[in-house]
Amino acid sequence: MTKRFNRGYNAGIGDPTFLSIYLEHRFLKNNQGEIRLQGFDIFGQNTGIQRDILDNEIVDTRSNRLSTYFMLSFNYRLQNFGG
């Protein structure tokens, strides 16, 4: 979980809190298989507004981005050690 504090900038973005979680289960011999369900930006506070202050300029960037989403993945580890 991450928390971002914005100072000196009021564009309606507040201080967003980003929460990403995952749940995984390992199975098969030697835990070689893994299935994982991940959730990103659970609170939906990813607004896509960013301010960069450089030496003599201020750059405000607004971007369209994906907010809350979930991903299901399967991983299989291939291991072959001589022995």
Q: How many CA atoms lie within 13 A of 8 on its CB side?
A: 5
Alpha carbon dihedral 71, 42, 69, 7, in 10-degree steps, equals -120
| pTM of the shown model | 0.60
Q: What is the pLDDT of residue 65?
A: 73
Spatial distance between the Cα atoms of 46 and 48, rounded to a whole number of angstroms: 6
Q: Residue 29 in 3-state DSSP?
A: helix
Residues of the chain above pLDDT 90, percent:
25
